[in-house]
A and B are shown apart, each in its own frame.
Chain A
Amino acid sequence: MSAAAAVRLLHGEVSVGDQLPELAYPVTATTVVLGALAARDWRPMHHDKDFAVNRNGTRDIFLNTPNQAAWFERFVTDWTGPYGRLQRMTFRMLGSIFPGDTMVFRGVVTDTGVDETGCGWVEIDIAVSVDDDPKTTCKARVALPVDDQDNPWTRQGPRWRP
């Protein structure tokens, strides 16, 4: 793929209240185990059901936190394309996600702006829910190109104020 052909969401195309395309994903034991190993998280409650049930008192193994961050990143950049550059993310864990759950990511734009260096940014409230019950929330701020010539990834030092 050429860079010109990639999705390139521009700052001016985004307004407060815009919703990100919803992402629904059926979680399996493989999802949980693969996510734990990808994050080098060897704790047994993320791969050993017997430990999770009998030691942790949960109903099954559950998705680990670092891998959820990777899911949130994917959800945001599916929307922005590769020019979207994350500035910050704040997570709040509310509940666990288990095999058999269908997790649903939803996000809404809550603020937009351009900082003093000319970097365009948007803020998004995201939640991953199971049966409409939020399990983790994430406030994300992501930089977007302000025009076709702009690329947030070229910003360094004082020109990058995340």
Chain B
Amino acid sequence: MSAIQVDDIEGLIGTELYPEVGEFPVEQGYVWTTCASVENGNPLFWDSALAEEVTGGPIAPPTMVSVWFRPHHWAPNRETPGLPLQVHFDLKEGLGLPEAVMSDNTIVFHEPVRPGDRLSTRQILRSVSEEKTTKLGTGRFWVIDVEYTNQRDELVAVESYTGFGYRRPAGSAERS
């Protein structure tokens, strides 16, 4: 994929784009690092006997789902990873909308993520609006889903991002 033009939009709605397999499996150590960072004492993540009884074995905090797709800062022989939400940047480029904001995002949680899982992701363009003018400028709203599945192809989470790509009104000040 590359820049998404207006004529491309209809054919791309609902299409799975940028499929990617996580660089490393879900790991217990990073679960503890994240729990420590927010002082999360939920015994599901610290007490294996309790996790066995409640969740059928250890799980990762559901809100960590996107963490498994952020690469380590360095890895040998790595090709340049794609940008998260590449579809967002393709839309900005193809529609000629240099500025963009994310108005909100939603995460829906499905099957639990477990240490050892190898997750995959894909981006799906759900909608692009007609041109609209807001106080920011004139542009289009779009909704992009990021779906996460495990190695059994079970859905584990869907993130939905609502973005607004726009052009500033002529004569408005540049933002830093």
**Interface residues, chain A, with chain B CB atoms under 8 Å away:** 1-3, 6, 25, 31, 34-35, 37-42, 57, 66-67, 69-74, 77-78, 81-83, 85-93, 151, 153-154, 156, 160, 162
Contacts and interface: CB of A to CB of B under 8 A. Distances in A.
A1 B54 CA distance: 12
A57 B42 contact: no
A86 B54 contact: no
A153 B176 CA distance: 46
B110 A160 contact: yes
B40 A73 contact: yes
B53 interface: yes
Contacts of B78: none
B38 A1 contact: no
Nearest to B33: A38
B103 A67 contact: no
B107 A88 contact: yes
Interface residues of chain B: helix, strand, loop or mixed (majority): mixed
A20 B41 CA distance: 17
5 contacts: A39-B34, A73-B62, A82-B54, A85-B109, A89-B63
Given A38-B33, A82-B50, 15 more contacts: A3-B54, A34-B37, A35-B38, A39-B67, A41-B70, A73-B63, A81-B42, A82-B43, A83-B54, A85-B109, A88-B109, A89-B106, A153-B54, A153-B56, A153-B112
B47 interface: yes
Candidate in A42, A67, A69, A81 with the most chain B CB atoms within 10 angstroms: A69
A88 B33 CA distance: 23
Contacts of A154: 56
A34 B4 CA distance: 37
B108 interface: yes
B112 A34 contact: no
Candidate in A25, A39, A42, A78 with the most chain B CB atoms within 10 angstroms: A39
A6 B50 contact: yes
B44 A82 contact: yes
Interface of B: 30, 33-44, 47, 49-50, 53-56, 61-64, 66-67, 70-73, 102-112, 176
A65 to B, nearest CB: 8
A87 B34 CA distance: 20
A160 B155 CA distance: 12
B108 to A, nearest CB: 5
Nearest to B112: A153
A6 B112 CA distance: 20
A38 B68 CA distance: 11
Nearest to B59: A153
Nearest to B102: A93
A35 B71 CA distance: 16
B63 A162 contact: no
Contact of A151 (B30, B54, B103): B54
A34 to B, nearest CB: 4
| 3 residue pairs, one from A and one from B, having the closest CB atoms | A40-B70, A38-B37, A74-B40
